[in-house]
Every structure is written in structure tokens, then in C-alpha cells.
Amino acid sequence: EVQLVESGGGLVQPGGSLRLSCAASGFTFSYYGMYWVRQATGKGLEWVSGITNAGDTYYQGSVKGRFTISRENAQNSLVLQMNSLRAEDTAVYYCARGGIAAFDHWGQGALVTVSS
């Protein structure tokens, strides 16, 4: 059974940093592209970042230069390093596995709150 478990969420001040992790199990992690998708409270889904199985990285415009996605295949782990956080980054962050141009499995989400 595919499982994705996010951790590392919490409260951080504007301008601060936070590191989200996603522990994957139940599939061969190194074979798949992985993604982060976020959802502000009461709002829609927003694609944030992705990393291919080869390690190529991609970012949505508003996070480019501030967020860094990475993966550690030996640990079956996906990471999102978030720097220079803003109030508008407040959201639940989901880790998702890449399917055929889709997100075929999702974690339960980690809440990130940026506030003073």
C-alpha cells in the first residue's frame, strides 16, 4: 500500500524558514516523480513544486528562489526547504506521487502557518 506521511509543519514568523519532509513507503520511490501541492484554508489546490525521478526540479513562480525541493532515494524521502516565508505561504502542504501527468497518491498534509 502506497503511503506518504508529511512532517515538519508548524508556526513560523514572516521571513523565517521551515523544512517539510515526506516519508514514502509501499512503492519504489526512486522510480517516481514527486510533488508538493498546497491548500490555504477554505481555498483551492495550488501546485508548488516537483522533482523528477532523475532529480530535475520545477517550481511555481511565487516560490521560485525561496523554496527548494529535494529527494533522498536511499531514505525514500522528499523534502521541501522553505525560506523567506510570507503570510501568503500559509497552507496545508501535501506531498503527492506523480502518476501519468497526475498526482496519484497523496499524503495527509502538513499545516504551515506564517504569522507574527
Partner 1 sequence: QSALTQPPSASGSPGQSVTIPCTGTSSDVGGYNYVSWYQQHPGKAPKLIIYEVSKRPSGVPDRFSGSKSGNTASLTVSGLQGDDEADYYCSSYVGINNYVFGTGTTVTVL
Binding site for partner 1 (CB under 8 A): 33, 35, 37, 44-47, 50, 52, 56, 58, 60-61, 94, 99-109
CB closer to partner 1, 15 vs 104: 104
β-strand 10-12 against 110-114: which pairing, if any?
parallel
Find how far residue 43's CA is from the centre of its chain. Answer: 17
Closest distance to partner 1 from the beta carbon of 18 (Å): 20
CB of 17 to partner 1, least distance (A): 24
Sign of CA dihedral 23, 29, 30, 36: negative
Q: Which residues pair with 82 in a beta bridge?
A: 18, 67
CB-nearer residue toward partner 1: 44 or 116: 44
Q: Tell me whether residue 16 or residue 26 sits nearer to partner 1 (CB atom).
A: 26
Contact at 8 Å (CB) between 49 and 58? yes
